[in-house]
């Protein structure tokens, strides 16, 4: 399978109503994500296997993180389906995961559909940023 490039995704993300299949996402607006390490805001956050976009749903004041893949992972669908089932089962006792949904028909790039993972947006700091801030305020973890 041939996967789109980051630039392909960026070119379509500005029109969520066209590129997404999911009804929630269609009525969202993309928002840039501050990247402390790079010093300025960017449309996406780079992950190991793809990009993450932030989409705001104005009506419900809710934000989604949408992961689009730029590299293949074997049995992607199976992984995320099993994962969703298991994490839902243990959600009450294991609160460390965000809610997510794997959408096989997720985003349309050049007339073909690619899978996305639609996740609840969590506002937080990554561990290294958080440690840095703690140390700067001389208040250890």
Partner 1 sequence: MQSWVELVENLERHKVAHGDLQHGNVLVVQDHSLQQFTLKLVDYDGMFVPRLRISEQAGDPVGHEDYNPLHRRFGPTMDRFPALVIYTALRALAFHAHELKPQIESGNLLDERLLFRKSDFVDPDNSELLRFLRRSRDATLRKLAQAIAEDARKDADHVRPLRQLLAEPQVPPQPSQNLREVPTGIFKAILNTTLLPLSGVIWLLRVALKLTRRLSVGALLAGLVLGVLYVFPPIITEITCRPDPPWAGEPVTIRFASWSTWNQPVEIQYRFVGESSWRATAGQVLYLPQVNDKELRLEFRAVRPGAFPSWTHRRRWRIQVPSPFVEIVATEPPSGPIAGEPFIIRVRASSPLPHRRVKAQWRRYDFEPWQEVEGQELRIPSAQPGQLVVQFRAQDEKGYLSNVVERYWDVPLILPTVAIAKVEPQGGPIAGEPFRVLLHADSPLKRPVQFQWRYSGEFAWRDLAGAQWLLEEFPGKPITVEFRARDSLGYTSEAITQSWEPRIIPPTAKLIRTRPEIGPVTGHPLELAFAAHSPLGRAVFIEWRFRD
Kindly tell me which residue out of 58, 111, 124, 137 binds partner 1, with binding defined by CB under 8 A: 124
The answer to whether the beta carbons of residues 67 and 50 sit under 8 Å apart is: yes
| Nearest residue (CB) to partner 1, 23 versus 122 | 122
Kindly tell me which residue out of 13, 19, 25, 119 binds partner 1, with binding defined by CB under 8 A: 119
The answer to whether the beta carbons of residues 106 and 26 sit under 8 Å apart is: no
Told to check if 137 binds partner 1 by CB under 8 A, we report: no
Q: Min. distance of Cβ 28 from partner 1 in angstroms?
A: 19
The answer to whether the beta carbons of residues 109 and 23 sit under 8 Å apart is: no
- Rounded Cα gap, residues 2 and 72, in angstroms: 8
| Nearest residue (CB) to partner 1, 86 versus 105 | 86
- Rounded Cα gap, residues 103 and 84, in angstroms: 12
Residue 73 sits at φ, ψ, to 5 deg, of: -120, 135
Q: For residue 22, what are its two tokens? A: 């999911």
User: Looking only at residues 23 through 82 of this chain, which bind partner 1 when binding is defined by CB under 8 A?
Assistant: 37, 47-49, 65, 67, 71-75, 78-80, 82
Site of interaction with partner 1 (CB under 8 A): 37, 47-49, 65, 67, 71-75, 78-80, 82-83, 85-87, 90, 93-98, 100, 117, 119, 122-128, 130-132, 135, 138, 140-141
């Amino acid at each position: 399978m041939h996967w789109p490039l980051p630039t392909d995704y960026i070119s379509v993300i500005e029109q969520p109503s066209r590129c997404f299949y999911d009804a929630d996402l269609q009525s969202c607006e993309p928002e840039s994500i501050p990247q402390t390490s790079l010093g300025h805001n960017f449309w996406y956050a780079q992950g190991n296997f793809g990009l993450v976009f932030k989409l705001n749903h104005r009506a419900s004041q809710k934000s989604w993180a949408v992961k689009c893949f730029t590299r293949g992972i074997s049995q992607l669908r199976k992984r995320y389906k099993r994962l969703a089932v298991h994490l839902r089962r243990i959600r009450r006792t294991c609160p460390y995961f965000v809610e997510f949904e794997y959408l096989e028909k997720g985003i349309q790039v050049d007339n073909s559909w690619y899978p996305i993972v639609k996740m609840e947006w969590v506002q937080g700091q990554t561990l290294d940023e958080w440690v840095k801030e703690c140390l700067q305020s001389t208040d250890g973890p």
